Amino acid sequence: MFAAKKITAFQLYCIFIISIAITNHVLLIPVLLQFGKRDAWIGAAAALVPILIYASLVYVLVKRTQQQHFLIWMREKFNNRLLTTPLRVAICLIAYIHASVSLRDVMVWTKTTYLPNTPMFMISSAFMLFCFFAARVGLRAIAISTGILLPLVVILGYFVMGANFQYKDYSLLTPLFTHGYRPALTSMYLTCGASFEMLVLIFLQHHASTRISLRALLIISVCILGLTIGPLTGAIAIFGPFEAADLRYPAFEQWRMVTIGKYISHLDFLSIFQWISGACIRTSALMFLMIDIWEVGRKRTRTILLLAIAVSLVIDSMVPISDNTMISWIQELYYPSMFIAGMAVMMYMLVVTFLPGKRKEEPG
């Protein structure tokens, strides 16, 4: 197996925070507003309980496997290589779908906001070039990049939140449940579907040199949910629940509202740094996972496979699909499917960890 340099558990947490937070900003919030309108924020807040339970189950898996490579641990426990293959295929497929959706959405946003005359092929190729080299160098390079980018992304997030207080009317967050409880419940399970990506941590836990703790996982869950509710309530408070639901990128529109005094405006270019930073870290980490999960040892083989993944993602992003079709697919299929997949894989892994292992035959 490829002997990558280990990172700390804290660095691993940071990768997950920036990875999930960027998709919640770009992909999830428009979906929540579309289904939940004014009740979207209370539904997202209600997701805290199942997400904390899910984080606790993730910790159970970490403890049961003693923070080893899950698939190697599983193979040695049951003394059967074939049992791990379906799980490898499932995780690899889920990771590829996440990377593909993230790439396409960021490319569409880039094309429609600030590079309208640049060919989509050039945008996606430049983006994937960085992701390819980051994944090729390894998880430690991704973690170091995250350590540099995440503080700046967080600072900019607080900046846009504070700068727009002058435009916000939080009375628009109420009244709740005017259309029953269904919009809030739908928002809750969609938020859970987005946050259940935390399961990927199990397949990267062996790269952490320090102990993964339950307290840290619970804090991460709260942070990720806070990074969702913050811009979600901000969009409703600025634009109103119905106008916000009609916006393609509500978080980006909040950047367009930012002004400092009378003479400083048009600071939405800073959002480009946020978007691209999070998307690059997320895509690089997913590409690394797709190779790492197969225990590819030779560096040349890893490079070829990563190059093949990068090329296939670029080709996938070039498939002519309208933005309306993409939005419908994300709303009606992507998040519900990820919710079901996250629950199914978690239940399968829990059952596997508690089943009695196959006894190894003693020599002689």
- Which DSSP string do the residues of 88-152 spell out, in sequence order? HHHHHHHHHHHHHHHHHHHHHHHHHHT-TTS-HHHHHHHHHHHHHHHHHH-HHHHHHHHHHHHHH
pLDDT band at 204 (very low <50, low <70, confident <90, very high): very high
3-class state of residue 232 by DSSP = helix
pLDDT at residue 190 greater than cutoff 80:
yes
Q: Which of 45-54, 74-83, 174-183, 210-219 has the lowest mean pLDDT?
A: 74-83
Classify 31 in phi/psi space as left (phi over 0), alpha (psi -120 to 50) or beta.
alpha
Mean pLDDT, range 298-307, rounded to an integer: 92
What share of the chain in percent tops pLDDT 90?
49
pLDDT band at 363 (very low <50, low <70, confident <90, very high): very low
Q: What is the DSSP letter of 168?
A: -
Q: Which of 71-80, 225-234, 274-283, 297-306 has the lowest mean pLDDT?
A: 71-80
Q: Which of 3-12, 98-107, 140-149 has the lowest mean pLDDT?
A: 3-12
Mean pLDDT, range 116-132, rounded to an integer: 91
pLDDT in tens, 237-278: 999 999 999 988 898 889 988 888 788 888 888 888 888 999
Query: In the prediction, which pLDDT does 359 show?
Result: 56
pLDDT band at 115 (very low <50, low <70, confident <90, very high): confident
Q: Which helix (H) or strand (E) holds 44?
A: helix 40-46
3-class state of residue 208 by DSSP = strand
CA 55 to CA 124: how far, in whole Å?
33
Query: In the prediction, which pLDDT does 360 show?
Result: 52
pLDDT band at 362 (very low <50, low <70, confident <90, very high): very low
